[in-house]
Structure 1
Amino acid sequence: MRVPSRSPGQRPGPPAAPARRRPRGPVRPPAATGPDLDAYRQAVAELLVEVGALASASSTKARQVLIDQRLREPALAAVLDATPQGLVGARETLLLEMARYQPNTRSSAADLTALVRIYLLSRVDVMWWREAATFLTDIEVRHSVELVDLDWLRRRDLLNFRYTGQPRNLVGRGVRALRRRMLPDATPRTAGLLFRRARREVVALLNDLGREFAAVTPAGTPPLWVTSLVRSAEHQYRLRRLGYAAMVPSGHCLGWAADLEMQWFDHFGVRDTLAGLLLDRQRCGEINVVDEGQAWHICLAPTATARLRRAYEAEMGI
């Protein structure tokens, strides 16, 4: 990564926008001890096999019984009971999501099994960050002092990953549609970021992943591509109305989650390489990973925030 030259004492950093609400202060990470996440993920994998075997419409009642029974097992209950909704709330939410599920091209949940996988694995995020405050509105995201401006960092060559923003008007949408027709595989097929902002620790994580990905892939491989970052709860519900599998509550609405493009890297033969990097970090306890098909969802663990905050400040010269 090229760091632009600067005079002694100069400190780069995006100009801070005034907060619209009283600053919420630093988030206190939960204690390092907690449920056995390896056991939880294994139990989820076993449950998915059973859900897949009951995929027909005639099996609705059997699926409900299965979910009700399996979520009470210790490996699953330990995580779900530690989320803000608790075990009962998580169970009822999952059953409601399954009852309302309608497959569509926008949703990352290709079927009911995928829906259950995305919901249950993403509960690790909200268990980790159960005491964090949600970004409720679009205005709050745009003006929060807890977030930094990615465009500002990108102009100064301080990012090791790529993203695109959502077009702001009809002309922008038309230009993007034309580019996709002319060069269909030049970039991932993603709507782009509505909010080009992120927590400092998440920027440091993505920069670290971007450097590692570049180091282990052949020359000419495109950089790591981020398809989603922080969202407001207001936007999360907007996505749900459009048919996306946008879970509630979500690590995106807490600012600690990101989605990384995976499918596009099949063109370059490095999708499995990126998957391996992410799963290695999950095994180390640094992130939670959820396979959502075209993109993989990741969420930063509270225990990794201090190191990544120091890494961000070192990179920015703060």
Structure 2
Amino acid sequence: MRVPSRSPGHQSGSFLPSTTPFRRPQPTAPTTPDVAAYRGAVLDLLVELGALTDAPSTRARQALLDDRLRDPAIVAVLDATPQGYVGARETLLLEMARYQPNGRTSAVDLTALVRIYLLSRIDVMWWRDTAPFLTDAEVDGSQELVDLEWLRRRDLIRFRYQEQPATLVGRGLRAVRRRVLPGSRPHTAGVRFRRSRREVVALLNDIGREFTATAPTGTPPLWVTSLVRSAEHQYRLRRLGYAAMVPSGHCLGWAVDVEMHWFRRFGAADVLADLLLARQEAGEVNVVDEGQAWHVCLAPAARTRLRRAYEAELGI
């Protein structure tokens, strides 16, 4: 399977609370969680969960989760998140109980919801000591973030993005553009904040340059659909029906979403997927396939190198 974070299957129906008494795994000596083993255990869980699509009762899926979430590789990562093992497990069960499919969410079924939630826990495990941006004002005023527009005007970024329209006139013009030039840009609302951490800018520039060099001739540059978000905005997205997980690497400033589906028309989607997965294999990022866009979070191990790369590009 080329993309380890995908799994087939459509899930429907309510998710029942567990009736199995939960016993927390006994603590062991502190170790660094094995992220590769975690991804493998999650994939195994997803394959089995997808096979229960036609089960007459959700209890079979509940029993499966109760068992598989006790896998030591899964326990190690979830226990290292800010919520701890119990909190992360209960949050997942609550997300499943509340799940309602809609046209906005990237979680097309329950299996996808579980996949997105569990794989995104790697982000919050990595950056558990980083304080989230709680409000929109914190994002706008943070000295830890740089203005992408300032960089773009100086030709210092190798990717594209578009901002969300702030007015009715802006939304109207966006709608007209989509009708007149369908397919000229990804079908996305745009970024709420055009700000990012310096290391993330360097990462996107690296990927953007590599993508331009390897994609078929005529392929547009790398397109970013989401950057840093405030927790305030994350909950706003949840109310609109998006699969915006909490806590999130976006709210820590270390995660972005890059467009994938749009690049199929240029024959470049597989090229981009391979680039991202190669960086994940190298331990530089965590990648979650969310359908139209892929979620990418920078790993702490790559932070120093990318900060130096950013400063070198600006001549600092």
**TM-score, with normalisation over the residues of structure 1?**
0.88
Counterpart residue type for residue 284 of structure 1: A
Q: Is 1:305–2:303 an aligned residue pair?
A: yes
CA distance in 2, matches of 1:87, 1:63: 19
The one of 274, 280, 283 equivalent to 1:282 is: 280
Q: 1:53 and 2:54 equivalent?
A: no
CA contact (8 A) 1:44 1:76 kept: yes
Calculate the TM-score normalised by the size of structure 2: 0.89
Q: Could you tell me how far apart the structure 2 residues matched to 1:152 and 1:313 are?
A: 15
Query: Which structure 2 residues correspond to residues 61-80 of structure 1 after superposition, within 5 A?
Result: 61-80=59-78
In 2, are the aligned partners of 1:67 and 1:91 still within 8 Å (CA)?
A: no
- The aligned counterpart of 2:181 is 183
Is residue 228 of structure 1 aligned with residue 226 of structure 2?
yes
Give the match for residue 8 of structure 1.
none
Q: How many Å separate the matches in 2 of 1:193 and 1:66?
A: 38
The residue type equivalent to 1:277 in the other structure is L
Which residue, out of 32, 35, 47, partners 1:34? Answer: 32
Quote the residue 2:263 is aligned against: 265
Amino acid paired to 1:243: G
Does residue 105 (structure 1) correspond to residue 77 (structure 2)? The answer is no
Structure 1 residue runs of 4+, over 4 Å off?
A: none
1:211 equivalenced with 2:199 (yes/no):
no
For residues 142 and 150 of structure 1, what CA distance do their matches in structure 2 show?
12
State the alpha-carbon separation in 2 of the partners of residues 171 and 76 from structure 1: 48
What is the aligned partner in structure 1 of residue 139 from structure 2?
141
Q: Compute the displacement of 1:58 (Å).
A: 4.1
User: 1:55·1:112 contact (CA, 8 Å) conserved in 2?
Assistant: no
- More deviation, 136-145/68-77: 68-77
State the secondary structure of the residue aligned to 1:35. Answer: coil
- Name the SS for the 1:179 alignment partner: helix
1:56 and 1:93 map into 2 onto residues whose CA distance is: 25
Instruction: Report the CA distance between 1:63 and its aligned residue.
Output: 1.6
The answer (yes or no) to whether the contact 1:77–1:87 under 8 Å persists in 2 is: yes
- Name which of 70, 82, 85 aligns with 2:83: 85
Contact 1:226 1:261 in 2 (8 A): yes
Counterpart of 2:17 in structure 1 is none
Letter in 2 for 1:104: N
Q: Is the 8 A contact 1:163 1:225 kept in 2?
A: yes
The alpha carbon displacement at 1:59 in A equals: 2.7
What is the alpha-carbon distance in structure 2 between the residues aligned to residue 141 and residue 309 of structure 1? 20
Deviation sequence 1:6-42 (CA, Å, 0-9, x none):
xxxxxxxxxxxxxxxxxxxxxxxxxxx7211111111
Specify the SS of the correspondent of 1:288: strand
**Inter-partner Cα distance in structure 2 for 1:51 and 1:232:** 32
**Helix, strand or coil at the partner of 1:214:** helix
Greater Cα shift, 236-245 or 81-90: 81-90
Is residue 216–residue 267 contact of structure 2 (8 Å, CA) maintained in 1? no
Question: Which amino acid letter does the alignment assign opposite residue 167 of structure 2?
Answer: N
In the alignment, does 2:194 pair up with 1:196?
yes
Residue in 1 that maps onto 2:161: 163
1:215-265 deviation line (CA, Å, top 9, x unaligned): 111221100000000000000000000000000000000000000000000
Distance 1:82 1:314 in 2: 34
Mapped to 2, the partners of 1:158 and 1:170 lie a distance apart of 31
Distance 1:268 1:218 in 2: 7
User: Which is bigger in relative contact order (C-alpha 8 A, separation at least 6)?
Assistant: 1
Aligned twin of 1:118: 116
| Cα displacement string for residues 161-198 of structure 1 (whole angstroms, at most 9, x for unaligned residues) | 00000001000000000111111110000000010000
Question: Bigger shift: 286-295 or 38-47?
Answer: 38-47
Is 1:246 aligned to residue 254 of structure 2? no
- Contact 2:284 2:298 survives alignment (8 Å): yes
Matched residue count: 286
Alignment deviations for residues 98-154 of structure 1 (CA, whole Å, 9 cap, x no partner): 111000010000111110000000000000000000000000000000000001111
Gaps of 5+ in 2: 1-30
Q: Is the 8 A contact 1:79 1:127 kept in 2?
A: yes
Structure 1 residues 62 and 228, CA, compared in 2 at 3 Å: closer, same or farther? same
Amino acid at match of 2:247: P
Aligned-pair Cα RMSD in Å = 1.0
Retained in 1: the 8 A contact 2:106–2:242?
A: yes
